[in-house]
Amino acid sequence: MIDVSSQCAKNRDYLISTDDINNWEHQHGRIPEGSIIILYTGFEQYWNDHLRYTGTLKKGPEGIAELHFPGLSPDAASWIVRYKKINAIGLDTPSIDFGQSKDFQTHRILTSAGITIYENLTNISLLPSSGSYIVALPMKIKGGSGAPLRIVAILPDSTYNP
């Protein structure tokens, strides 16, 4: 879990960069192959406040031009594809592309490399920096390019106690 919430608090159009990932690796070690990267922007706290979560109260085509929320930069997405052998990436905003994206390059880069994207995640602030296991169960939609997802994290050192 890479915490970029302080950067996003200062700039709601923040583009998560390779520097953010490199800084995490300097503190916690190299991201292992097969990992799932979770990006914590802090926007999960605004889920019930549409204006703060998306940057606008407008919906549909009228609201698209007014969307403002952070996302992963296309440059960082390309770098991840080239240098990190991950299985998926997720974050706590409506899209992996930042709100003002017009071409959705981050989506295109990641999905063309077979990297699954998880969006609108919640409670990721509770995750440790590393060591969690993710279980992601999407609804099967024939021919769909996306689906609702039930996602859970298994935390390190946690035990089942019914």
- Mean pLDDT confidence for 117-139: 93
Judge residue 69's burial from the number of C-beta atoms within 10 Å of its C-beta, 0-12 exposed, 13-18 middle, 19 or more buried: buried
Weakest mean pLDDT among 28-42, 70-84, 131-145: 131-145
Residue 159 has pLDDT above 70, yes or no: no
C-alpha to C-alpha distance for 14 and 22, rounded to whole angstroms:
17
Residues above pLDDT 90, as percent of the chain: 86
Structure confidence by residue, pLDDT tens digits, 76-100: 999 999 999 999 999 999 999 999 9
Is the distance from CB of 46 to CB of 55 less than 8 angstroms? no
For residue 66, pLDDT over 50 is answered with: yes
Instruction: Quote the mean pLDDT of the chain.
Output: 93
Predicted confidence band of residue 144 (pLDDT cuts 50, 70, 90) = confident
Closest CA to 147 of 115, 126, 113, 119: 119
